[in-house]
Amino acid sequence: MTGMLASVRNLKEARLVLEAGADIIDLKEPATGALGTLELDDIKNIVMMIDGKTPVSATIGDVPFVSDSIVPAILETVATGVDIVKIGVFAGEVDERTLYCLQDLSGQGIRIVLVLFAEDYPWGLNITEIAKSGVAGIMLDTREKSTGSLCQKLSTQRLYDFVNGARKANLISGLAGSLTADDIEPLLAIGPDYLGFRSALCCAGQRVDMINQQALMQVKREVCGNDTMA
C-alpha cells in the first residue's frame, strides 16, 4: 500500500500533518531549493513534538553529491533525531567513493534515502549498485518546480521502471515533484511505497505558502482512502 509523505517547513505545519495522519513527515525549506534544509534547532524541535508518533525525514540541502560535502551534513542531520536523511543526487551520477561512505554510514544504522531528479534522466546509476551501499531507499523528484510536475516530465513507463527497479533491489521507493490531486490515481497504479507532496497541500498550490488543512485532507483521502482518516 502506498503511503503519504508530507513536506513541512515549521512546527505549526508539522502538527497539522501529524493530526491528519501523514505516513512520513518530511522536513525541508521550499524557499531555498529543491531540498532546502531547515535550521538544525528547528528540526530538533519538530522531532521532539512528534515524539516518535510517525517517522520523520529531513533533507540536508542542495549539497553536491560528494563525500566531503554530504557526510558532515548527514551526521549533523541525523544527530537531531530524525529517522531518515534525504540527500540529492543533483548531477544524476553516483561515484564509488561516495557510495563507500554511504555504506559506512548505513552500517551505523543511519537510514538514508537518495533523491534523484527527473531533469537528469537518464541517470548514470545502477539501482542494484545503489542497493549495495545499504541505503534505505530512492526517491524521484523534480529539481525545477516551476517547469511542471513529475508526471509532465517523465512518462508513466519510466516512472514504473523506477519503482519496479527499486522493488527488485529491496529499496523503498518514493515519487514526488509538484504532484497534483489528478496525479494520484495513476501513480497509485504504479505502486510506489510513498507519494510525496508539498505544493498540493498549500494554499493555491504554492509550495512556499502555508499548508492548507482542506487541501491536506483531500490529498490524504485520495492517497490512503477514507478508512485511514481520523
Catalytic positions are 28, 86
In angstroms, rounded to a whole number, what is the distance separating the alpha carbons of residues 220 and 199? Answer: 14
Report in angstroms the alpha-carbon separations of 148 from 82, 118, 141. Answer: 30, 11, 11
Report in angstroms the alpha-carbon separations of 181 from 124, 178, 197, 224. Answer: 31, 10, 10, 13
In angstroms, rounded to a whole number, what is the distance separating the alpha carbons of residues 221 and 204? Answer: 19
Whose CA is closest to 196, among 63, 66, 17?
17
**Ordered DSSP codes for 45-98:** HHHHHHTTSS-EEEE--S--SSHHHHHHHHHHHHTTT-SEEEEE-TTSB--HHH
Residue with cell 512546527: 11
